[in-house]
Structure 1
Amino acid sequence: MKRIFACLLAAALLLACAGCGAKKSGESGEEKTLTGTLDEVKDFMFVVTDDNGDSYALTFEGGAPEGLAEQEVGDRVTVTYTGELSVVDAFTGQVLSVKAAK
């Protein structure tokens, strides 16, 4: 009887933990773009202001994203990223590339 109870308890624990590995709703894998003016560049982040005047701080880890080193403050750029951008909340995603806007 103890073995059956232990197996049932283990199965319940596995089912309860199954959802823990799911993606958060803000961590979409879909690629998106943002076009605007590069306002600031630091070792861990950069700021882009779009045509509506909204500024977005995009953070990165493990080195600058592809193409950022070729851009200068004041340049018009297109940023390709995954995740969610917000004017007030921290960036949740990954910057894939930064290129000169057309």
Structure 2
Amino acid sequence: MKKKIIMIVACVMCCAGLFGGCGQSGMKQDNTAISNSEEGKQEGTTEEKEVTGTIDEIKDFMFVVTDENDTPYSFTFEEKPEGLENVSNGDTVTVRYTGTISEVDPFEGEVISVEKAQ
């Protein structure tokens, strides 16, 4: 009987520790996300960046550019960016954008223009 009570108490303590720990880490992540978005709003200015590479794929809502290091970057858009209609797969282009690009994370920003590189 004592073993059952000890096991039940141990299980309850483990569950309480897991729920308490998960709740705290989730709150930290939410607070971080809020503070990052607030910082972006406070800055008010967005820095223009460029990437040069080869167009691998063009769709109605996105295109993929691979740079000289064979790193593919996916750019999504709602309205077709300026110059995209003048390029095709295999062309070397310079993409001007704001935001951040990553080979694993989705594109967060806006494509300003796509120009054929010379």
- TM-score, L = length of structure 2: 0.63
Aligned with 1:23: secondary structure?
A: helix
The answer to whether the aligner puts 1:68 opposite 2:77 as a matched pair is: no
Identity %: 55
Counterpart of 2:98?
82
CA RMSD of aligned residues (A): 1.7
Measure, in 2, the Cα distance between the counterparts of 1:35 and 1:101.
Answer: 8
Measure, in 1, the Cα distance between the counterparts of 2:38 and 2:88.
Answer: 39
Greater relative contact order, per chain length (Cα 8 Å cut-off, separation 6+): 1
Unaligned 5+ residue runs, structure 2? 1-34
Counterpart of 1:29?
46
Return the offset for 1:22.
4.2
The answer to whether the aligner puts 1:57 opposite 2:74 as a matched pair is: yes
Q: Aligned pair count? A: 80
Aligned with 1:94: secondary structure?
A: strand
Return the offset for 1:23.
1.7
Measure, in 2, the Cα distance between the counterparts of 1:76 and 1:38.
Answer: 6
Return the offset for 1:76.
0.2
Deviations 1:26-68 (A, max 9, x none): xx7100000000000000000000000000000001x210000
Deviation >6 Å, runs of 4+: none
**Bigger Rg, which one:** 2
Measure, in 2, the Cα distance between the counterparts of 1:80 and 1:36.
Answer: 12
- TM-score, L = length of structure 1: 0.73
Counterpart of 1:94?
110
Greater per-residue strand proportion? 1
